[in-house]
Chain A
Amino acid sequence: MPLLTIRRRLPPVRPSRPVPTDAPFLPRTVLDQIAPTDVEQRRDAFLVENLPAAGLAVTALPRTIVPGWLRGVCEQGLPFDLAVHIRRIPSDVAQRFLDRQVTVHGSAQRFGASRGRITDTAQDTALEDAASLRMPLQRGQEQLFRVGIYGLVRATSTSALGGLVRRVREACGRIGIHTRETRFQHLQAFRSCLPQLDDELQDEHYLHTSGLAALLPWSAVRLWMPGGFVWGFARGARTPIGINLFANPPLTDANVAVLPVSVRAVVPAQAHRPTLPGRPWRRHPGRRGGPWRALRGG
């Protein structure tokens, strides 16, 4: 028998309250009204009150996207729920992640080159992406986000659901989105599309600020002042830019310039302001910098 025994003192046991079993006599709450009466999960559908629903998860995004790129899917006239989960990665964590990616891919590239192997194009692309994003992230111009994109298609019958899912997938494929049907995961897809900030599929992608701004379905670059003429085309999106040099006030809706990357590409520096022959540049008295300042987001 030991001389000394150390035991953890157990909390006192308190008798639990009796659970009421008379459920039919409990007051009816809001949750009872909201909750569906019956739910059934199948391999290819999730039935809520006998109405089937199926989930879609975006598995791959194209490398190049244009502003308002998801609008192509939303304007197809197909009824479905689109859920976009956006989680910001802290800058220090994102910086460490990119440093590690650059180290891993760079060392693998150097090792392969020392053995005389040809370079892996996928690895070169990943290294180039990580290296190009490090500096804007360090300067605070960009941030890194973790984005999950899911769709939920509902129909009145299982056969109609299959056709609708196929059409939505075709619409996504036309703009370069690779999707998968969430077989055996329709409940997770359903819950991920509910407005409760719950991403159960965890099918996420990394996007920086510019990519995320271009991804949103309602974002579209439209740099066109009322009464303006074509000044040029935005880099990448190739959308026309119209500027009215004689507008007063210079820019009625300053919110048209919401994407500074595209704007910087077309707005020259202060020294390159255009002047018409015989008409020197005049700064508008009410706004310093005139339309250029407004286009730069000032």
Chain B
Amino acid sequence: MLLEPHVYLVVGREGTAGSLLRPIVGWFMRRTRRRSRLSVAGPSDTDLLDQRGEQVALAFDAIGARPRRLDNVEIAELLFSCWCPERARRQPLRIERSAS
């Protein structure tokens, strides 16, 4: 039997926001409605996730793994192949990528 290994790495947001101080302060600001005066500026969750993904990609690139970040359509295709491998083989997803 000829098998083709596929390796996927899922990077989560857990731990990217640093300490618990920031969400606690944010919650306190929302409760006291002082968001406009004492807002806590910082990178968003998406920025933190992007940074972490780049760090992990660099680490894997250093050992010759050459990772590639999947876009939205590829993530959908991956989930489809994991849920329904036979149907994904017979009827692959036909999602039009945006022109951006």
Interface residues of A (CB under 8 A from B): 30, 33-36, 48-49, 51, 74, 77, 79, 81, 87-88, 154, 193-197, 218-219, 253, 255, 258
Contact = CB atoms under 8 A, between A and B. Distances in A.
Most buried by A among B7, B82, B93: B82
Those 5 A-B pairs whose CB atoms lie nearest each other, nearest first = A197-B12, A34-B80, A197-B10, A195-B10, A36-B84
Nearest to B88: A34
Given A87-B14, A195-B10, A30 B63 contact: no
B34 interface: no
B15 A195 contact: no
Given A193-B82, A194-B82, 7 more contacts: A30-B93, A34-B93, A49-B84, A49-B87, A77-B1, A218-B65, A258-B62
Interface in B10-64: 10, 12, 14-15, 62-64
Say whether chain A's binding surface is mostly helix, strand, loop, or mixed. loop
Taking residues whose C-beta sits less than 8 angstroms from the other chain, chain B's interface range is 20 to 34
A36 B83 contact: yes
Contact of A49 (B1, B8, B14, B86): B86
Interface of B: 1, 3, 5, 7-8, 10, 12, 14-15, 62-65, 75-76, 78-80, 82-87, 93, 95
A88 B64 CA distance: 23
B78 A195 contact: yes
Contacts of B5: 74
A77 B76 contact: no
Contacts of B86: 49, 51
Contact of B63 (A74, A193, A255): A255
A77 B5 CA distance: 10
Given A30-B76, A79-B3, A197-B10, A35 B83 contact: yes
B3 to A, nearest CB: 6
B83 A194 contact: yes
5 contacts: A34-B76, A48-B84, A49-B84, A79-B3, A81-B82
A258 B82 contact: no
A36 B83 CA distance: 7
A88 B15 contact: yes
A87 B15 CA distance: 9
